[in-house]
Each structure stands twice: as C-alpha cells, then as structure tokens.
Amino acid sequence: MSLPHAVLTSLLEKSTSGYDLARRFDKSIGHFWHATHQQIYRELARMEAAGWVEGVVPPDAGKTRKKHYRVLPAGRAELARWAAEPTPPMDLRDAFTVKLRADAVLGEVDLVPELERHLALHQAQLAHYRRIEAQDFPAGQALARAQAIQHMILKKGIRYEEGEIAWGREMLALLLQAENGPDGP
C-alpha cells in the first residue's frame, strides 16, 4: 500500500484540511498504515501537483488560511486503479522475533521484561480497539455496507492483538520455564 492511496481513501471519506486529515488519519487508517503529519502534508502537495486532489482556502478561513482538500476525478480514478491491483501478502519484519532467535542461539539474553512490555502494549491496543467497537458498532445494530466493512477492518485489528497476546503468553511461559529450569525455581 502506498501513502497516497491511504490519503485518497481518507479524503473520499471526508474532505478536510491537511491538519484535520492528519489528526483523523492517526485515529483510523493510522492503526494499520503509519504516516507522520509531515509525510501527509508532503503527499498532499504531490497529489495536488498531479491533479488528484484540490486544495482550496475557504473564504471564511480567517488568519489560518488552511486549505480544504477534496479528491478530483483523476484521484478517484487512481484510487480505483490501485484498489483493483493484486496485493502481495504483508511483509513481516519483527525485530523482537529476531531477538528471540538470537536468544535461542546465545542462550543468555533476558527477554522476559521486553516480552512483558510487548504484552502490555498489545493488551492496551486491544482494549482501545474494543472501546472503538463498543462506541461505533454496538451489538445488534444494523450496519450499512461501508460501516460493515469498517467493522470488519476493526475486527482484523482485534484478532491480530488477541493473537499477539495469546502467542506472547505462551512465549512468556516458555521463557520463564527456561529461566527457572525444568524443575522450577
């Protein structure tokens, strides 16, 4: 996935200023595609130059002179073209997993504190996702297609976090067992 396509998607959901787009991005698409505010602003400038978006300063903008961005037909066509392309499987780059491999060959790396930290982060993210689900997708509520897709994306994040937590607990038990020896402390 590329940042321009994530930005186009977000702008099609709601036209907005670059500042508000970056803030909204952090709360939605940013859960699965990270971008800094500076990257978003640079991308908006590139997309405006390419004719994919238009940034207009509204007459009532006042001193801020914030541009309000909207997707142009060429941007919509580019997003449709990109969405129709085959998507390769996600590349997995996980430094902690490499550290575990190092521990397996060194046999002396204490990764328990780091694993406990990772577990806490995944538990916090899972709690965050569940709060979003309870707020935005109450049980029994009928959802329009777009909302149902957004809910399924959220469920993907929930399942990812649940998987990381389950795996992390198993790994923690293994590391603690190895630390304490086969007969315990």
CA atoms of 58 and 16, how far apart (whole Å): 11
Averaged over 105-129, what is the pLDDT?
Answer: 94
| Residue 95, pLDDT score | 92
Q: What are the residue boundaries of the structural domains of the chain, listed by start?
A: 3-84, 95-180
CA atoms of 101 and 174, how far apart (whole Å): 14
| Residue 108, pLDDT score | 77
Higher pLDDT, 150 or 107: 150
CA 10 to chain centre: 13
- Burial category of 112 from C-beta neighbours within 10 Å (exposed 0-12, middle 13-18, buried 19 and up): middle
- The string of pLDDT tens digits covering residues 128-137 is 999 999 999 9
| Residue 156, pLDDT score | 95
| Chain position carrying tokens 């006042």 | 62
**Is the alpha carbon torsion for 99, 103, 106, 112 positive or negative?**
positive
- The string of pLDDT tens digits covering residues 50-109 is 999 999 988 876 777 788 999 999 999 999 999 999 998 888 888 999 999 999 999 878
Model confidence, pTM = 0.79
| Residue 120, pLDDT score | 98
| Residue 35, pLDDT score | 87
Averaged over 16-26, what is the pLDDT?
Answer: 86
- Class of domain 3-84 as given by CATH: mainly alpha
Residue 174 near residue 145, CB atoms below 8 Å: no
Percent of all residues in the chain with a pLDDT value above 90, rounded to a whole number: 63
